Amino acid sequence: MANLGFVGLGVMGGRMAKRFMDHGHAVTGYNRTKSKAEWLIEKGMQWANSPREVAETTDIIFSMVTNTRAVQAITQGPDGILAGLSAGKLYIDMTTMSPEYSRTLAAQVAERGAQMLDCPVSGSVVTLEEGKLTAMVGGEKETFERALPVLKDIGPKITHVGRNGLAVAMKVATNLSLAVQMLAFSEGVLLAEKSGIDRATAVDVLTHSVIASPMVGYRGPFVLGHPDEAWFDCNMMQKDMMLALEMGRELEVPLPTAAVTNEYLTAARGMGLDHYDFAILFDVLARMAGIDEERLRR
């Protein structure tokens, strides 16, 4: 069993730390807001007072935070992860962030005599709790092999995609499709509903049809009612869409559906719906279609 550290204990990070604990690993954790980690402390997680302390007291350090700026906040400075790294330690960041900054960070980690992998995951709270997450990993092959036994505790499909930064690029390429699929699914539901078909019936048919990707299967029902806590809110999704559009410009890859969907996320924010899961795209379209005003006001 490994001595693991985890920085960033939010919706996904906290459940991931819990999964590692369930597999017998010792976990030391830090979160900017300690109250959000109390449930993990009650289950046996050791608390650290800074990201540096996590890195100093563990062998393999994970982090999962919101964006590039948040990664900078937990890694840099006298209390950051970098300050606590030493030779032989392994740092695995699971944040969807700028591939360029991920590579810069990997070089800084190497200067400390440690190794780094970028390892974003694909899936949801449901797939995480079921142990069905997939992960993509960027970094040296030997480092990947060292981390693989631990990574398999979060899911069965762990793929090495190449050098540092490429796993983050792969995750951005994956995530842009999530929002695009949700928008297209919402169009189908609303078209069926305004034709006279009950919404729940339309959702049932579509989520059991040929278009039912795993994402549609577990997020499609959100158009009937959102979870109390957003799995992945509009702000987080738009962050990923902006990363995708930036990469598209740099690599000269047109991303027309991503660009259009991104504007609907902006509309959701303008309507004050950004704290909802990005499946709220349905409500944005519903308002434009002249229906569902009552649900939007709740």
Give the distance from CA 26 to its chain's centroid: 23
Residue 144 makes CB contacts below 8 A (sequence gap 6+) with 117, 137, 160
Task: Quick: pLDDT tens for 208-242.
Answer: 999 989 889 888 999 998 888 888 899 999 999 99
CA distance 102 to 158: 19
**pLDDT above 90 (res 1):** no
Q: What share of the chain is helix, strand, coil (3-state, %, to 5)?
A: 55, 15, 30
Asked if 281 and 268 touch (Cβ cutoff 8 Å), the reply is yes
Asked if 138 and 102 touch (Cβ cutoff 8 Å), the reply is yes
pLDDT band for position 292 (50/70/90)?
low
Asked if 135 and 155 touch (Cβ cutoff 8 Å), the reply is yes
The yes/no answer on whether domain 3-163 falls in CATH 2.60.40.420 is no
Supply the pLDDT for residue 297: 41
pLDDT band for position 298 (50/70/90)?
very low
CA distance 164 to 99: 8
Task: Quick: pLDDT tens for 4-18.
Answer: 999 999 888 999 999
Task: Quick: pLDDT tens for 50-73.
Answer: 999 999 999 999 999 999 999 999
**pLDDT above 90 (res 278):** yes
Q: Where in the chain is the domain with CATH 1.10.1040.10?
A: 170-297
Query: Hey, which of 81-85, 121-125, 131-135 has the most confident mean pLDDT?
Result: 81-85
Asked if 78 and 49 touch (Cβ cutoff 8 Å), the reply is no
Q: Where in the chain is the domain with CATH 3.40.50.720?
A: 3-163
> CATH assignment of 170-297, given 3.40.50.80, 1.10.1040.10, 3.40.50.920, 3.40.640.10?
1.10.1040.10
